[in-house]
Amino acid sequence: MNIRSTLTFTGSLLLSTLFGQSQADKHLREVQAQFAAIQQQLEQMRSQVEHAKLDVMQHDLAKTGYPRLDAGDTVVVHPGHALVWSDKYKIPKWTAHMILPDIMEGNLARIDTFLPDPLIKTNTALIDNYWFSGYDRGHMVPSADMRWSEDALKATYLYSNVSPQKPELNRGTWADLEDWMRRYVHYSGHRVFVVTAPIPGKDMPLLNKPKAKADVSIPPAFFKAMVDLDAPVKKGIAFVMKNGLNDQGVLAYAVSIDSAEALSGLDLFPALDDTLENRIEAQHNTQDWYGEGDKAMGEVAPLPPPLPGGRFNTMQAKYHIGNKATICGTVVSTRRTKKSNALYLNFDRMYPNQDFYATVWDYNSPNFSYNPETYLQGRKVCVTGMVSVFDDIARISINNEKEITFWEDVIGGK
């Protein structure tokens, strides 16, 4: 082949390659355009589904989830919740919302930009009241309950949805309670109705902010009440916490909805059938709120302090690290590990969320006339020994069965 033929062949091959590449590029752009169009359609459809869910939520809230309205009450409706505003105290009188199973798919981030409520005619521009006041802007409707809807999430950051809460409440057991409620929705797959409200007191103090244009009252306590009307056996429960440190664990603050009503003066679920309302509003058994697959199933509330004879419950154990003490609680689970050659007795809460546990090392096993792994399961006991800490969890190592006392014997000999 001569040079001219070679050049002609090479040129033809190059043109063919460029033409093929051009066709491939064109096809890629066409497919990408189709994909972008489909994504836009999906986003529009997702938005339509979201707003349809919000419409259903508000319909069902208005039908079933509002407390009884008093004279002068005006219901303010936002995408994911409703409320009645107390202009006297500059805090919500109550909020009502639903936790949907959609929370497991929600991934929207916190906003943390609080704004006045445009639907309330009086002043809710309260940033000067809360700023450096020593109190948190405590959400009544948690933002995490609405992370599946941007509109609903934004509405939780209106000042009409917050009340002054001590940081040790807002960032502590109150947040744990909100997690506990979401956990139930996750494992049950049921939606739940929730009413949250401050519990007013006499002569409530004000946020001490001289530059503020309105007085915000500080409630002494708060409650949340929850009902599940999707369960085969409908149920309800409430929790009451003081506006401060609540260090006994979430379950210790469980009460009946009747009790929350008595404290707050609200009639919480008046739309329910009288027989059903009376039944579920008398309940407060936390064990009814653990379902199949829930890893926390079986956890119990700590024994209510003060305990007799200078004993302490599992939540108090952390205050006695480095000292000899007697810690009492319910052995809700046991765990034996080959690596450490030990038996772990988890008190009140399941591993790995326990606040206290006891250890029986394998070489101490002959000091027991029974098998502690099975014999102590589910029983209320007290263990005595030096309180130490490992991975921020208080613990006691038990050498023999004489260091274990059964709760029924403690009560019987009190």
End-to-end CA distance of the chain: 112
**Pick from 75-79, 188-192, 261-265, 294-298: least confident:** 294-298
Average pLDDT for 175-179: 96
The residue with greater pLDDT, 39 or 413, is 39
Q: What is the pLDDT of residue 3?
A: 56
Q: How many whole angstroms separate alpha carbon 75 and alpha carbon 82? A: 7
Q: What is the pLDDT of residue 357?
A: 97
Q: What is the CATH number of domain 308-412?
A: 2.40.50.140
Average pLDDT for 33-58: 80
Alpha helices of 273-333 — where are they, by DSSP H? 274-280
Whole-number average pLDDT of the chain: 90
Q: What is the pLDDT of residue 405?
A: 95
7 pLDDT higher than 60: no
pLDDT category, 132, cuts 50, 70, 90?
Answer: confident
Report percent pLDDT > 90 for the chain. Answer: 73
Q: What is the pLDDT of residue 34?
A: 84
181 pLDDT higher than 60: yes
Q: 61-77: per-residue pLDDT in tens?
A: 999 999 999 999 999 99
* Burial of 119 from C-beta contacts in 10 A (0-12 / 13-18 / 19+): middle
Q: 299-327: per-residue pLDDT in tens?
A: 999 999 999 999 999 999 999 999 999 99
What region does 87 belong to: left with phi over 0, alpha with psi -120 to 50, or beta?
alpha
pLDDT category, 17, cuts 50, 70, 90?
Answer: low
Average pLDDT for 91-96: 98
Where are the chain's structural domains?
Answer: 61-289, 308-412
Average pLDDT for 93-103: 94
pLDDT category, 4, cuts 50, 70, 90?
Answer: low
Q: What is the pLDDT of residue 93?
A: 98
Q: What is the pLDDT of residue 404?
A: 97
Q: What is the pLDDT of residue 216?
A: 93
Is-contact 282 259, C-beta < 8 A? no
Q: Is the peptide bond before 116 cis (omega within 30 degrees of 0)?
A: no
Give SS3 for 392.
coil
Q: What is the pLDDT of residue 293?
A: 78
Which structure tokens are listed for 329?
A: 């609680």
Q: What is the pLDDT of residue 24?
A: 81
Contacts of 324 (CB under 8 A, 6+ apart): 384, 385, 386, 387
Average pLDDT for 153-166: 97
6 pLDDT higher than 70: no
Domain 61-289, CATH homologous superfamily name and number: Extracellular Endonuclease, subunit A (3.40.570.10)
Short-list 229, 246, 327, 330, CA closest to 287: 330
The pTM (predicted TM-score) of the whole model is: 0.86
Is-contact 217 89, C-beta < 8 A? yes
